[in-house]
Amino acid sequence: MLILAIETSCDETACAALEVKGTMRRPKFTVRASVIASQIKIHAPFGGVVPTLAARAHVKNLPLVFRKTMRQSGVRLKDIDYIAVTQGPGLVIALVTGINFARGLAYALGKKIIPVNHIAGHILSNWLAPSKAGLHGEHIAFPALHIVVSGGHTELIYMKKMGSYRVIGETRDDAAGEAFDKVSNMLGLGYPGGPVISELARGGDPYAFALPRPMMHSDNYDFSFSGLKTAVLYLLKKQPKIKTTKKLKADVCASFEQAVTDVVTAKTVAAAKEYGVKTLTLSGGVSANAKLRETLKRELKRVLPKVSFLAPDVNLSTDNALMIGVSAFFNKKSAVSWKKIDADAHLSIEQNAQMR
């Protein structure tokens, strides 16, 4: 089966051609092509994603990214079995650009569209395990717990079996990636904040500044990062020389990264223990963070050595269309006509529209 997947929920215009063989339980994925047009340069001067500029860039880039995907993959139009597209959550004016492109393609090719939940896409990116022969469906033992940390979401999701998602904790304010981006702006480091903060943090002392660990010991699995961000703001006001001193800046980055890592790790491992899961996965843009990956893996091994840990390849951590293709494969029953799909900016993973 050949799935042509499209992702435009935020600031990456992405398209992928994914070939799938095997069964639902043991799929074998082969990446024929995966193309991403990043909009970082467009949004960087504004310190964050500007929805209208994102939509405009998607409209411009989609045909080019699609053509490149087709050329690289060697796939012919008639080989495409399904079109997969992100339905939500995301920026509505960005989502509709991808959806309309998918509708046009589906109409012209006489194929159906599989609507995909973006968060399910991040989670299911863990089903891709690299090997010499390409990417094979990783066998994941259920029940599983997923921690999704991205620019728009921080969610702990319990999955009893494929397709059943229950949110057991989420952020009450800023998402983890959003906090990275805001702190980066405060430090004058630009957008996106995650990669630059983690790079600088390597040369800093993670315990130089005592930053709060909000909700780390609360008796639920919710998160809150806005207090941590505000603590950094006050710190910078109190000690303005931090912004002009390389070492102090690195110390703030390291202390901030450590605080986020401690909270996410503590809550995730506690939830994995309470829910008795067999697998823990980490995904979303912030999962590219090496400190978080390593700490979570280490702590899980120490507390729950029998639970297996998975995180997608770093280049599959941030938004891409491959994860949308994988998710579509597991949801192919929900394929609809091009006339029957609409964007849903607040699509919930529990509602899981694509699993109808």
Instruction: State the residues that interact with ligand KG4 by CB under 6 A.
Output: 10, 150-152, 177, 180-181, 192-195, 198, 284-286, 288-289, 318-319
State the minimum distance, in angstroms, from the CB of residue 194 to ligand KG4.
Answer: 2
DSSP 170: E
Instruction: CB nearer to ligand KG4: give 38 or 351.
Output: 38
Please state whether beta strands 308-310 and 279-283 pair in parallel, antiparallel, or not at all (unpaired). Answer: parallel
Q: How many residues bind Zn ion (CB under 5 A)?
A: 2
Look at residue 115 and give the partner it binds from ligand KG4, Zn ion, none, a contact being a CB closer than 5 to 8 Å depending on partner kind: none
Q: How near is the Cβ of 112 to ligand KG4 at its closest, in Å?
A: 25
Q: Does 287 bind Zn ion (CB under 5 A)?
A: no
**CB nearer Zn ion, residue 319 or residue 344:** 319
Nearer to Zn ion, 151 or 214 (CB): 151
The residues pairing with 6 across neighbouring beta strands, listed in sequence order, are: 15, 85
Helices 193-201 and 176-186 sit at what angle, rounded to 10 degrees?
A: 70
Rounded to a whole number of angstroms, the minimum distance from the CB of residue 155 to Zn ion is 11
Only one residue has tokens 């509602």, namely 351
> Cβ closer to ligand KG4: 228 or 335?
228
Structural tokens at position 154: 């921080």
Q: Count other Cβ atoms within 10 Å, centred on residue 322.
A: 30
Show the binding pattern over residues 142-161: x = contacts Zn ion (CB under 5 A), - = does not.
--------x-----------
Report CA Rg, the chain: 20
In the complex, minimum distance from the CB of residue 200 to ligand KG4, in angstroms, rounded to a whole number: 11
190 bridge partner residues? none
Q: Judged by CB under 5 A, does residue 299 bind Zn ion?
A: no
Choose the one of Zn ion, ligand KG4, none that binds residue 289, judging by a C-beta under 5 to 8 angstroms depending on kind.
ligand KG4
Q: Which stretch binds Zn ion (CB under 5 A): 75-83, 213-221, 298-306, 318-326?
A: 318-326
Q: How far is the CB of 283 from Zn ion (least distance, A)?
A: 9
Instruction: Report CA torsion sign: 161, 163, 168, 174.
Output: positive
* CB neighbour class for 23 (10 Å; exposed up to 12, middle 13-18, buried from 19): exposed
- For residue 188, give the 3-state DSSP assignment: coil
Q: Are 288 and 314 in contact (CB under 8 A)?
A: yes
Q: Which residues contact 272 (CB under 8 A, 6 or more apart)?
A: 145, 280, 300, 304, 307
Residue 140: CB minimum distance to ligand KG4, A: 20
CB 26 → ligand KG4: shortest distance, Å? 27
Q: Which is nearer to ligand KG4, 199 or 274 (CB)?
A: 199
Of 36 and 215, which has the nearer Cβ to ligand KG4?
Answer: 36
**End-to-end Cα separation, the chain, in angstroms:** 21
Q: How far apart are CA 108 and CA 77, in angstroms?
A: 10
CA 322 to the chain's CA centroid: 12
Q: Which CB sits closer to ligand KG4, 2 or 323?
A: 323
> Residue 169 binds what, of Zn ion, ligand KG4, none (CB under 5 to 8 Å, by partner type)?
none
Amino acid occupying residue 47: G
Q: Could you say which of 11, 12, 319, 344 contacts Zn ion (CB under 5 A)? A: 319
**Residues engaged in binding Zn ion (CB under 5 A):** 150, 319
